[in-house]
């Protein structure tokens, strides 16, 4: 999928893109990640097939964790539409990609991470393969959170 940069920025700033929210537990995510993440991918696939910008959001309430699968023209969350406009000025028609995002306090200093999963065309061509990659990425981020929590706990113990 390709989109006019100006149209993309207008939609992002106005939050005029498709959004679907999901909920799951940390146990669901850890025990059957691909099944838990597949609805996000299916929503994004449907949006891409309809030439729409989209954000699928999975709230893991028992872990205070937000996972998103978004379409964008740059590796910034959609809610940074104004910043996207400052970076991509007058680029005309641009490619749309699919990005994986996670927000969690103990993930890193910013509490947020974004990585490209695939181009929109590659994503639609192999949704199940991309769900597997998305799941692997989520597992890596969860491991990072666990390591950061452990390090913080050890630092607290040393201070006592």
Q: What is the pLDDT of residues 125-150, one digit of tens each?
A: 999 999 999 999 999 999 999 999 88
- Within 10 A of 105 (CB to CB), how many other CB atoms are there? 12
- Tell me the average pLDDT across 95-108: 95
Helix (H, G, I), strand (E, B) or coil at 104: coil
Strand 18-24 relative to strand 54-60: parallel, antiparallel, unpaired? parallel
In this predicted structure, the answer to whether residue 158 has a pLDDT above a threshold of 80 is no
Where does the pLDDT of residue 81 fall: very low under 50, low under 70, confident under 90, or very high at 90 and above?
confident
In this predicted structure, the answer to whether residue 111 has a pLDDT above a threshold of 70 is yes
Contact between 25 and 36 (Cβ < 8 Å): no
Q: What is the pLDDT of residue 43?
A: 98
What pTM does this model have? 0.92
Sign of dihedral through CA atoms 143, 147, 153, 154? positive
Distance CA 134, CA 138 (A): 6
- Residues near 126 by Cβ (< 8 Å), separated by ≥ 6? 118
- Within 10 A of 13 (CB to CB), how many other CB atoms are there? 16
Q: What is the pLDDT of residue 160?
A: 64
In this predicted structure, the answer to whether residue 15 has a pLDDT above a threshold of 80 is yes
């Amino acid at each position: 999928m390709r989109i006019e940069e100006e149209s993309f920025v207008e939609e992002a700033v106005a939050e005029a893109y498709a959004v679907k929210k999901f909920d799951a537990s940390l146990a669901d995510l850890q025990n059957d990640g691909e099944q838990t993440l597949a609805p996000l991918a299916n929503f994004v696939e449907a949006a891409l097939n309809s030439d729409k910008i989209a954000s699928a959001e999975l709230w893991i309430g028992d872990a205070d964790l937000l996972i998103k699968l978004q379409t964008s023209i740059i590796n910034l969350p959609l809610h940074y539409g104004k910043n996207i406009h400052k970076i991509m000025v007058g680029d005309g028609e641009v490619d749309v990609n699919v990005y994986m995002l996670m927000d969690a306090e103990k993930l890193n200093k910013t509490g947020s991470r974004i990585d490209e999963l695939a181009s929109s065309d590659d994503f639609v061509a192999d949704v199940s393969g991309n769900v597997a990659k998305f799941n692997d990425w989520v597992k890596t981020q969860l491991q990072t959170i666990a390591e950061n929590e452990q390090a913080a706990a050890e630092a607290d113990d040393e201070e006592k």
